[in-house]
Amino acid sequence: MLRRTFLALAASAAAITLGVGAVSAQELPKLKQKDKYKVGFAQTESNNPWRIAQTESMKAEAAKLGHQLVYTDAAGSAAKQVADVNSMIAQGVDMIFLAPREEKPLIPAVMAAKRAGIPVVLLDRNVDQSLAKAGKDYVTFIGSDFVDEGRRAAEALDKATGGKAQIIQLEGTTGSSPANDRRKGFEDYIKNKLGMKIIASQSGDFARDKGRQVAETLLQAHPGATAIYAHNDEMAIGAISALEAAGKKPGQDVQIVSIDGTRDALQAIIDGKMLATVECNPKFGPKAFETMARYAKGEQIEPWVINTDRFFDKSNAGQLIADAY
Ligand code: GYE
């Protein structure tokens, strides 16, 4: 703790004398091999089943291995999440798992941990790659290929509609890596499809009620919409409510595709209200702590520990809903 404080002070003094470049040129902090660790997990928010499942998985794995977990919930605020990470640094945690709410605002938190000699692993969301890099500023990013998730959602819609769709896009949290990349993957796919067009696109902040409200407004302005692409299931479920309130039949008048694989989404698929959802698995606990142990052993960690995603539609939703969250 004292040594950390000293290192942090020394690092910021160096930053003042030499400029920020000197700090980011430092080596990645190491992690000592120990039986038990004090580990931080900085969560972004807890307003959806995906986040709750992720937190449960992290807590369960930490408990199983006997590590102490310092858990914070930024309640949807990037500024609070930066403060949460700073508080973990002050508490002298050995390592920090960070789910950066947005790509740019969490950079100072990553750099502060690095200056304090605490390794950071990014979980489920990434940071701006021009401002911080795996293997240099943080250990690695563990998460899905969001661009591919977006591409697969577009492909599913293409197949189901014979390439004809007037699409409303409900985007995730503005400035977050999954929103940026899921948009890119989807838009790149439909670029050459003459019959598929995004007629309106707006953020619903990955939240059910916000998704419902935005869908309601966009459906009023664009009554000709035949499809909705939501960047997560919670917004897709919100969109289903908006469609039903507008007297439209989700799954018939309007096709819905999204990403995650929540219980409610699988149920909507079974009920014929939703076409498909690309999986994004929130159960990070085992992989997160295994990566930490590998790092402590001195292993070279790959810059991206990729989660592979399944795909849910009417062919398998009924069978797989029992395990859904
Ligand atoms: O899809 C969404 C959550 O960052 C991959 O964030 C995650 C996304 C997930 O709020 O439901």
Strand partners, 43: 73
Q: What Rg do the C-alpha atoms of the chain give, in angstroms?
A: 21
**And the tokens for 193?**
């499809």
pLDDT higher than 50, residue 17: no
Which of 150, 143, 111 has its CA nearest to residue 124? Answer: 143
Atom of ligand 1 nearest to the CA of 50: 11
In this predicted structure, the answer to whether residue 15 has a pLDDT above a threshold of 70 is: no
pLDDT per residue as tens digits for the range 158-208: 999 999 999 999 999 999 999 999 999 999 999 999 999 999 999 999 999
User: Which atom number of ligand 1 is nearest to the Cα of residue 144?
Assistant: 5
The token pair that represents 138 in the structure block: 């943080």
pLDDT of residue 23: 43
Please state the atom number of ligand 1 nearest to the C-alpha of residue 125. 4
Residue 10 pLDDT greater than 90, yes or no: no
* Average pLDDT over every residue of 142-157: 98
Contact between 138 and 116 (Cβ < 8 Å): no
Question: What separation in Å is there between the alpha carbon of 178 and the centre of ligand 1?
Answer: 7
Which residue's C-alpha comes closest to atom 5 of ligand 1? 124
Residue 9 CA to ligand 1 centre (angstroms): 35
Q: How far away, in angstroms, is 253 Cα from ligand 1 center?
A: 27
What is the pLDDT confidence band of residue 27, given thresholds at 50, 70 and 90? confident
Burial 182-214 (b: 16+ CB within 10 A, else e): bbebbbebbeeeeebebbbbbbbbbbbebbbbb
pLDDT in tens, 77-134: 999 999 999 999 999 999 999 999 999 999 999 999 999 999 999 999 999 999 999 9
Q: How far apart are CA 278 and CA 286, in angstroms?
A: 22
Residue located nearest, by CA, to atom 10 of ligand 1: 206
Alpha-carbon separation of residue 296 from 68, 119, 143, 292 (angstroms)? 16, 10, 20, 6
Model confidence at 5, in pLDDT bands (50, 70, 90)? low
Tokens of 89: 């640094």
Helix axes 146-161, 177-190, angle to 10 degrees: 40
Q: Which residues have any ligand 1 atom within 6 Å of their CB?
A: 48, 50-51, 124-125, 178, 206, 232, 259-260, 280
CB 243 within 8 A of CB 219: yes
pTM above 0.75, yes or no: yes
Please, what is the average pLDDT of the chain? 94
What 8-state DSSP symbol labels residue 196?
Answer: E
Instruction: State the burial class of residue 311 (Cβ atoms within 10 Å of its Cβ: 0-12, 13-18, 19+).
Output: middle
List, in order of start, the domains of the chain with CATH numbers: 31-143+283-307 (3.40.50.2300), 146-280 (3.40.50.2300)
**How far does residue 24's CA lie from ligand 1's centre (Å)?**
28
Report how far ligand 1's centroid is from the alpha carbon of 206 (Å). Answer: 7
- What local confidence, expressed as pLDDT, does residue 53 receive? 98
Give per-residue pLDDT as tens, 97-111.
999 999 999 999 999
Q: How far is the CA of 231 from the centre of ligand 1 (A)?
A: 8
Q: Distance from CA of residue 193 to its chain's centroid?
A: 28
- Give Cα 298 distance to the centre of its chain: 27
pLDDT tens column, 199-250: 999 999 999 999 999 999 999 999 999 999 999 999 999 999 999 999 999 9
| Substitution candidate for ligand 1 out of 102, 205, 232, 287 with most atoms within 8 A of CB | 232
Among 191, 238, 221, which residue's Cα sits nearest to residue 201? 221
Name the maximum alpha-carbon separation found in the chain. 65
Q: b/e per residue, 89-98, with b = 16+ CB within 10 A?
A: beeebbbbbb
* 200 φ/ψ angles, rounded to the nearest 5 degrees: -160, 145
Q: How far apart are CA 214 and CA 202, in angstroms?
A: 7
State yes or no: pLDDT of 3 exceeds 70: no
Q: Say how many Å lie between the CA of residue 50 and the centre of ligand 1.
A: 7
Please state the atom number of ligand 1 nearest to the C-alpha of residue 176: 4
Paired strand residues for 97: 41, 121
- What gap in Å lies between CA 169 and CA 115, rounded to an integer? 40
pLDDT of residue 19: 40
